[in-house]
Structure 1
Amino acid sequence: MLRTITLSVGFIAFLSLPAMAGEAADILRASLYEGPLTDGIAKLEPMAKAGDQEAEFGLGMLQLVSGVEHFAQALYRHGMAAPDVGPLGPALAFPIPPNPSPEKLDYEKVRAILAALVEDMDVAKATLASAGASGDYVVAVDPLRIRIDFDADGKTTEMESMSAILAHGLGISLPASQAPNVGDKNSRGTNSQEPEMTLGLDRADALWMAGYSQVLASHGDFLLAHDFSDLVNVAFHRFFPRAGLPMQDYSVGGTLFMEPSTDAAAADAIAAIHTLNWPVVEPDRLKRVLERLKAVTAFSRQNWQAILAETDDDHEFIPSPRQSPTIPGSEISSEMVDAWLKTLDTADAMLDGKLLVPHWRFRQGFDLKAYFETAKRTDLVMILTGYGAIPFLKDGPVASAADFAEANRVFGDNLLGYAFYFN
């Protein structure tokens, strides 16, 4: 769930685009900048049904952002906060404003939050996939003006803007003259000195967003496939400190080794690891995780096919080797594209069970496809140590460094960063 949070914030930070005069683009911008998102969705739906391609793109983007907003509102509703882990190690920074009156949270509510995220992502995926199938459009948004109504009060303020989230929640500083006045909850104006951060999104980027919808949905479905109630009960009070979880009143105990808060945080971390033995309670969801991961690689291929076919050079989000990057330092070479497409082939072979995942303890490889389709339990510790991996071992080619040699040569230490960027 925490990885889902990070990914949710991460892809919103990339949703940025240049100005267009179309009515659908105006509706999209107004909804993203001032809200509510539901108004923009209601206006764009009939336009999209009538065949307006810009409207379909705008609708899909609003559905995607709306799904993330619903998720963020749920976290705010239950008072998510950076965990108190004692003086050993910094607290994690989450871009969720503090809630003075959080609601109670329990395991069933956690499942409901994740189920809603999965449903919202699937709605967005269908629209964005259709918007990416064809069309010659470019839509525009300034990412620093996108706002998320965390507290669901119907108002989107500067404090809830992407610029405030980046500047304060994630520790990314903006120049003083450009930073919003995040301390003023009633500030509704637009800062005319915001830096230029526009990108031109087209049908290729609709496919990129469709792929990211499935990244998020796969995380939700993976958790929902299992009974992870023990993890919620022993550890989630660290992230929802006033939501009435079972260990809420015991975040500080006696002293074992260092001091009360540090020892209690360490005890909770050990307890969390001890609970990573989850029975599969919805096997169809676990199978869908495999389908979603395959969809991610398929959308990435379609995205690159569309990018390489472009003939314009208009504030590109992910540029082709022939286009100019808008984001500094994001130049893309043909060599990088080829290496990424080969990496997708390798990933698909692993998801199909044709290329096995190496396990440090066995000469045989771990069959991912068999795991997603047949697993009855996910015991992470037992899988990593060996015994839990035995049912999924298979003879056949095992992935090695050679399978990723081209990607490692081209991307080097930045492979994971480019994987997040390329989707």
Structure 2
Amino acid sequence: MKNPILNFLIAPVLACGIACPVVPGAAHAETGATALVQTYLASGRIGEAEEQLLAMTAAATGNTDAQFGLGLARSARAFEKLSQALYGVGFASKAQGYQALFGLRAPIPVNPNPQPVTYDEFRAILAAFVADLESADRALQAVGDKPAKLSVDLSIARFDWNGDGMLGAEDQFGTAISDINDDGSTKPFLVSFDTADAKWLRGYSNILMAVTKAWLSHDFSETWDYSFRLLFPRAVSTMAAAEGGDIHDNTLFGVEKQQADDLADLVTFLHTIRWPVQDKALWSEVRDHLRAVIALNRETWALIGKEADDDHEWLPGPRQKSGVLPSFDVTEERIQAWLGLLSRFEAALDGKLLIPHWRFSKGIDAAKLFDEPQPFDLILWVTGPAALPYLSEGPVMAGNEWNQILAIFEGNFAAYAFYFN
């Protein structure tokens, strides 16, 4: 991988959710599902594969390859639709400088002529993404624990990120995850996805649904009105209306006004993160998704532990050395440390293990965060006052436990966390 940051921010989230093209001679190819999806994936029309995959699953209820392919196709389409919607309203247009600073390249290209977007329209984009992920999750859930295998070459993946109906260089996903040959072509990136990977993808879907529903369950309209032009150049907001017209002085203390505006919007963004919960039921679903992630992780590693093959594994077990990301050493010690951390996280969600805060000897009861939600104020959480309603007596996760876990991953815990989900 030429860019390790890009690899972990994009490939683990998208790669398993984008494709199931068949490699010649791959197992289970007799179902035709893998060949079908490869055709649509390579042509950048992955969404059009859904109807035929649905027909395959209806014709043979035991066709787990087709069921897996359906979940993958729906996951891919969820990301593609989100990208197209965000491109339309100019997301990340101002963020290119920040991306360059950190060596990142977003899959969403810059829109030179974005559309205006309102607060309600942005919320509708997020709601549509959740609905698409839920549809993908239902399809993957039907795979269950039954054998399924899709041998794939992710280097051929193409997506219409901007929704213009044409495939250009920016739509070639393979260049983001594959190495390049001397002639400029992408090297094959072969992966054999299996049942454990279907669980893994469901885990990631639930993480993304939890994050998105956390947004949707809160009222962040004030932040939108005062600072969201930082993310969307044509956000319809109170500040945009007030600043209409020409500005004669284009500098402020020697700084270009646009740069000064962006800095002011960033400060305002942080200051106005004081969002009340407007949908308690949806906020409660966030905890349900997090619990699902824990359960799916356990099922994933249980299935991996039973695998006897060693074939281009996306997520290999300790006895499988044919992982597609060789920089990761997946050992039994690391798996057990990860599962142990998930158990602590589960105990925290249930209020049985308290979360430490730097200012207090007592710990934070995370169960109360969901059962008795207060407005989320970022600054007051950092400084301490927002934690006061949730402080409780009881066992608090000790810092030395966390340090022991970090030591097992040799200082690379964040990367493994992205990989393991």
Deviation (angstroms), 1:292: 0.7
Q: Quick one: structure 1 residues 254 and 372, their matched pair in 2 at CA, closer, same or farther if it must change by over 3 Å?
A: farther
**What corresponds to 1:235 in structure 2?**
227
Instruction: Note the C-alpha offset of 1:320.
Output: 0.7
What residue in structure 1 maps to residue 5 of structure 2? none
Give the conservation status (yes or no) of the 8 Å contact 2:90–2:233: yes
Residue number in structure 2 paired with 1:363: 361
In structure 2, C-alpha distance between the alignment counterparts of 1:271 and 1:400, rounded to whole Å: 35
Question: Counterpart of 1:310?
Answer: 307
Say if 2:355 and 2:363, in contact at 8 Å, map to a contact too.
yes
What is aligned with 1:177?
A: 183
Q: Measured at CA, do residues 176 and 373 of structure 1 come closer, stay the same or move farther in structure 2, by a change above 3 Å?
A: farther
> Which residue is 1:279 aligned to?
276
What residue number does 1:265 align with? 262
Q: Which amino acid aligns with 1:272?
A: F
Return the alpha-carbon distance in structure 2 between the equivalents of residues 286 and 94 of structure 1.
Answer: 29
Q: How far did 1:223 drift?
A: 0.4
Indicate if the aligned counterparts of 1:142 and 1:197 stay in contact, CA closer than 8 A.
Answer: yes
SS of the residue 1:136 aligns to: coil
Number of aligned positions between the proteins: 397
RMSD (CA atoms): 2.6
Structural mapping, 1:291-310, within 5 Å: 291-310=288-307
Q: Is the 8 A contact 1:64 1:121 kept in 2?
A: yes
Q: Residues 86 and 328 of structure 1: is their aligned pair in 2 closer, same or farther, counting only changes over 3 Å? A: closer
| Residue ranges of structure 1 left out of the alignment (5+ in a row) | 1-5, 179-192
For residues 245 and 95 of structure 1, the distance between their equivalents in structure 2, rounded to whole angstroms, comes to: 27
The reply to whether residue 32 of structure 1 matches residue 41 of structure 2 is yes
- Deviations for 1:306-357, whole angstroms, at most 9, x for unmatched residues? 1111011111011111111232222311111111111111111111111111
Letter matched to residue 270 of structure 2: I
- Under a length normalisation based on structure 2, what TM-score does the superposition of the two structures give? 0.87
* Residues 86, 261 of structure 1: 8 Å contact kept: no
Partner of 1:125: 137
CA offsets 1:343-384 (integer angstroms, 9 cap, x no match): 111111111111111011111111111102220311121122
Q: SS of the counterpart of 1:413?
A: coil
Task: Give CA-to-partner distance per residue, 1:100-154, whole Å, 9 cap, x none.
Answer: 43221010011101111111111111221221x2222320222222222123234
Q: For 2:205 and 2:119, how far apart are their aligned partners in 1?
A: 24
Q: Deviations along 1:38-96, whole A, 9 cap, x unmatched?
A: 32110001222331100000000111111111111111111223426989x94874321
Is the 1:147–1:158 Cα contact (8 Å) retained in structure 2? no
Q: Which whole-Å CA distance do the structure 2 matches of 1:83 and 1:101 have between them?
A: 13
What runs of 5+ residues in structure 2 fail to find an aligned partner?
1-7
Letter in 2 for 1:136: P
Which structure 2 residues correspond to residues 323-338 of structure 1 after superposition, within 5 A?
323-324=320-321, 325-338=323-336
Give, as a single letter, the amino acid of the residue that structure 1 aligns with 2:140.
Answer: L
**Identity %, equivalent residues:** 33
* Length-normalised TM-score, structure 1: 0.86
Equivalent residue number for residue 122 of structure 2: 110
Q: What SS does the aligned partner of 1:319 have?
A: coil
The 1:54/1:90 distance shift into structure 2, 3 A limit, reads same
Q: Is the 1:145–1:163 Cα contact (8 Å) retained in structure 2?
A: yes
Following superposition of structure 1 onto structure 2, how do residues 32-111 of structure 1 map, counting pairs within 5 Å? Answer: 32-49=41-58, 50-51=60-61, 52-83=63-94, 90=101, 93-111=105-123
